[in-house]
Amino acid sequence: MKKNDGKAKSLSGKHKQAQKELKLSEIKFKELFDNVSSGVAVYQAKNDGEDFVFVDFNQAAERIDKINKEELIGKSVLEVFSSVEDFGLFEVFQRVWKTGKAEHHPVSQYKDERIVGWRDNYVYKLPSGEIVAIYDDITERKRSEQALKMSEQCFQAIADYSYFWEIWISPAGRPIWTNPAVQKVTGYTIEEIMAMQDYPMPLVHEKDRARVARAFRSALNGSSGREFEFRIRRKEGSVIWAEMSWQPIYDKKSNSIGHRASVRDITKRRYAEQKYGTIIQAALDGFWICDKSGRILDVNDSLCSMLGYNRKELLSMSISDIDALETNKQTNHRVEKVLKSQYGRFETRHRCKNGRIIDVEVSTNYIDFEDGQFFASFRDITSRKKAEEALQESEEKYKTLLRNVPQKIFYKDLNSVYVLCNESYASDLNIQPDEIKGKTDYDFHPQELATKYRTDDKRIVQSGKMEVVEEGYVKDGEELIVLTLKAPITDVKGNTIGLLGIFWDITDYKRVEQTRDKLNKELEAKNKELKSILYAASHDLKSPLVNIQGFGHELSQSCKLIRSALVSKDKTQDMEKAVDNALKKDIPEALDFILTSTEKMDLLLSGLLDLCRLDTTVMNVKLIDMNTMMADAVANIEYQIKEAAAEVDIEKLPPCLGDVSQISRVFSNLLTNALKFLDESRPGRTHIYGSSRDNQSIYCVEDNGIGIAPEHQEKIFEIFYQLEPDKRKGEGLGLTIVRRIIEKHNGKIWVESKLGKGSKFFISLPSV
Partner 1 sequence: MRKDGIILIAEDNEGHFELIRKNLLRAGICNEMLHFADGQETLDFLFKMSKKPEQERNNQEYILLLDIRIPKVGGFKVLEKIKQDTELKKIPVIILTVVDAPHAIERCHNLGCSTYIVKPTKYEDFEETVQKIGRFLSVIEIASLK
Assess 505 for contact with partner 1 (CB under 8 A).
no
SS3 of 330, please?
helix
Assess 755 for contact with partner 1 (CB under 8 A).
no
Contacts of 680 (CB under 8 A, 6+ apart): none
Which region among 3-11, 349-357, 537-545, 679-687 touches partner 1 (by CB under 8 A)? Answer: 537-545
CA nearest to 63, candidates 46, 94, 40: 40
| Shortest distance (Å) from residue 757 CB to partner 1 | 18
Assess 726 for contact with partner 1 (CB under 8 A).
yes
Nearest to partner 1 of 383, 549 (CB atom):
549
| Shortest distance (Å) from residue 593 CB to partner 1 | 4
SS3 of 208, please?
helix
d(CA 700, CA 761): 6
Which region among 240-248, 378-386, 538-546, 739-747 touches partner 1 (by CB under 8 A)? Answer: 538-546
d(CA 583, CA 560): 12
Contacts of 306 (CB under 8 A, 6+ apart): 286, 350, 352, 358, 378, 380
Among 110, 164, 593, 667, binds partner 1 (CB under 8 A): 593
Assess 539 for contact with partner 1 (CB under 8 A).
yes
| Shortest distance (Å) from residue 551 CB to partner 1 | 7
d(CA 366, CA 361): 17
Amino acid at 551: F
Size of the site for partner 1 (CB under 8 A): 22
Nearest to partner 1 of 381, 562 (CB atom):
562
Burial of 518 (0-12, 13-18, 19+ CB in 10 A): exposed
Nearest to partner 1 of 371, 726 (CB atom):
726
- Report the C-alpha dihedral over residues 604, 608, 611, 613, rounded to 10 degrees: -120
Nearest to partner 1 of 224, 549 (CB atom):
549
Assess 545 for contact with partner 1 (CB under 8 A).
yes
Among 669, 672, 722, 759, binds partner 1 (CB under 8 A): 722
Among 359, 441, 457, 554, binds partner 1 (CB under 8 A): 554
Which region among 381-389, 521-529, 543-551, 605-613 touches partner 1 (by CB under 8 A)? Answer: 543-551
Among 262, 597, 668, 764, binds partner 1 (CB under 8 A): 597
d(CA 483, CA 303): 58
Among 724, 729, 754, 756, binds partner 1 (CB under 8 A): 724
Assess 57 for contact with partner 1 (CB under 8 A).
no
Enumerate the β-bridge partners of residue 503.
Answer: 408, 484
| Shortest distance (Å) from residue 542 CB to partner 1 | 5
Nearest to partner 1 of 481, 575 (CB atom):
575
Among 473, 551, 677, 761, binds partner 1 (CB under 8 A): 551
| Shortest distance (Å) from residue 668 CB to partner 1 | 24
Nearest to partner 1 of 7, 539 (CB atom):
539
| Shortest distance (Å) from residue 516 CB to partner 1 | 32
Assess 549 for contact with partner 1 (CB under 8 A).
yes
Within 573-592, the residues that bind partner 1 by CB under 8 A are: 589
Q: Exposure pattern of 269-280 as b/e (b: 16+ CB <10 Å)? A: ebeeeeeeeeeb
What is the arrangement of strands in the sheet containing 496-505, beginning at the earlier edge strand? 418-421, 408-412, 496-505, 478-490, 467-475
Nearest to partner 1 of 2, 539 (CB atom):
539
| Shortest distance (Å) from residue 712 CB to partner 1 | 9
| Shortest distance (Å) from residue 678 CB to partner 1 | 17
Assess 544 for contact with partner 1 (CB under 8 A).
yes
Nearest to partner 1 of 53, 594 (CB atom):
594
* Neighbour count for residue 612 (Cβ, 10 Å): 11
Contacts of 61 (CB under 8 A, 6+ apart): 39, 40, 41, 135
Ramachandran sector of residue 282 (left: φ over 0; alpha: ψ -120 to 50; beta: rest): alpha
| Helix axes 734-744 and 660-676, enclosed angle (nearest 10) | 150
Nearest to partner 1 of 173, 552 (CB atom):
552
Backbone phi, psi, residue 81, to 5°: -115, 90
| Shortest distance (Å) from residue 671 CB to partner 1 | 23
Burial of 607 (0-12, 13-18, 19+ CB in 10 A): buried
| Shortest distance (Å) from residue 546 CB to partner 1 | 6
- Distance, C-alpha 484 to centroid of its chain: 30
Asked if 750 contacts 735 with a C-beta cutoff of 8 angstroms, the reply is no
Beta strands per DSSP E along 12-85: 39-46, 51-57
Assess 547 for contact with partner 1 (CB under 8 A).
yes
| Side-chain half-sphere CA neighbours of 573 within 13 A | 0
**Torsion sign across C-alpha atoms 185, 189, 191, 197:** negative
Among 638, 725, 756, 757, binds partner 1 (CB under 8 A): 725
Assess 202 for contact with partner 1 (CB under 8 A).
no
Nearest to partner 1 of 234, 728 (CB atom):
728
Among 187, 248, 550, 654, binds partner 1 (CB under 8 A): 550
Within 218-277, the residues that bind partner 1 by CB under 8 A are: none
Write out the DSSP string of 378-401.
Answer: EEE-HHHHHHHHHHHHHHHHHHHH
Among 723, 737, 741, 763, binds partner 1 (CB under 8 A): 723
Which region among 46-54, 145-153, 443-451, 722-730 touches partner 1 (by CB under 8 A)? Answer: 722-730
Contacts with partner 1, residue ranges (CB under 8 A): 539, 542-547, 549-554, 589, 593, 596-597, 722-726
